[in-house]
Structure 1
Amino acid sequence: MEIELRFFATFRAAVGSKTISRSFDDGADVGTVLRALETEFDGLEGEILDDAGELRPQLSVLKNGREVVHMDGLTTTLADGDAVSVFPPVAGGNGDAGTSGRGEAGAGADGTVRREKAFRGISERLAREYLVNLGGEKVGDHVVEGPDWRTETSAEKVDVAGSMQLTEVTLVFEGPPETLEPLMEKFGRKAMRAGG
């Protein structure tokens, strides 16, 4: 079976490409694919799996846009045509979601940052559509990936006055600051026009 593999930040540099395809036996799982990658690419050896063979902390591995830790972890079975995305750890940060804040805790060694921003009055579906219009591609129910950025979306109802509630959509952006600044600004303009 053919699996599409997508890499970001330092992992992309180690592989030398954003996307590659590899063949695996039918029924192979995520762990098999990750072990094969560490063997094939010197720059990935020991970077994805720890000495016990477990996924390294703060690493994100997605099967078709969904975190494998929320599925069956490394034993998540793959099928022909599945996409596996591998994200190295990035700097964290939290904005004050209740006030549409923005946070950044600093850049990782490769310059990648993670920023969070919340918007009220727009739907999560509309937020994902805006990200697609800004050059992204939906890779799961809550993930949109761009050429060198990734955004996860979530939504919840928040109280605004008395019994009145609005939808608040939180976006977590990951990528280099020079990419995120204009992306977040353009997204913010779209959200404001929508009433967010």
Structure 2
Amino acid sequence: MKRVLEFRGIPQHELKEYFHQLAISAKSEKLFLGNGWSASLSEEGTLSFGSLTIPVTYITFSGDDKSVNEVIKEFRRKTMRAGG
């Protein structure tokens, strides 16, 4: 299974910290390995809305279905933000 998700508004250094908490190892600065899954981060881009600029990162999750679904569930918990 392979899934690509887009994360906006969260600096990439925070995303990496979340993966350090979830992964078994980091193969590089942008590739993380877990039990039955891997995740790779794109280069950080930006998106502009008028005068507002926000960071954008695409994350590719790969591995067996159950492991990928579980790590995405946990990762989304870590990246959940309150609206305002």
TM class by smaller structure? 0.7 to 0.9
Distance 2:23 2:31 in 1: 13
3-state DSSP of counterpart to 2:23? coil
Aligned residue for 1:150? Answer: 38
Distance 1:141 1:175, change over 3 A: same
Aligned residue for 1:166? Answer: 54
Which of 1 and 2 has greater Rg? 1
> What TM-score, normalized to structure 2?
0.84
One-letter amino acid matched to 1:157: T
Distance 2:14 2:56 in 1: 12
Matching of residue 128 in structure 1 with residue 16 in structure 2: yes
Aligned residue for 1:12? Answer: none
Cα deviation, residue 176, structure 1:
0.7
Structure 1 residue ranges (4+ consecutive) displaced by more than 6 angstroms after TM superposition: none
After TM superposition, the structure 1 = structure 2 runs for residues 79-158 of structure 1, keeping only pairs within 5 Å, are 113-154=1-42, 155-158=44-47
Would you say how many aligned residue pairs link Structure 1 and Structure 2? 82
Aligned 8 A contact 1:156 1:167 in 2: yes
> What TM-score, normalized to structure 1?
0.39
Cα deviation, residue 125, structure 1:
1.8
One-letter amino acid matched to 1:142: K
Aligned residue for 1:17? Answer: none
Larger strand fraction of residues: 2
Cα deviation code 1:158-183 (max 9, x no counterpart) = 12x21311001211000011111111
Q: What stretches of structure 2 of length at least 5 have no aligned partner?
A: none
Distance 1:190 1:129 in 2: 10
3-state DSSP of counterpart to 1:139? strand
Aligned residue for 2:64? Answer: 176
Distance 1:170 1:129 in 2: 16
Cα deviation code 1:92-114 (max 9, x no counterpart) = xxxxxxxxxxxxxxxxxxxxx11
Q: What stretches of structure 1 of length at least 5 have no aligned partner?
A: 1-112
* Identical columns (%): 27
Cα deviation, residue 130, structure 1:
0.7
Distance 1:157 1:133 in 2: 25
Cα deviation, residue 133, structure 1:
0.9
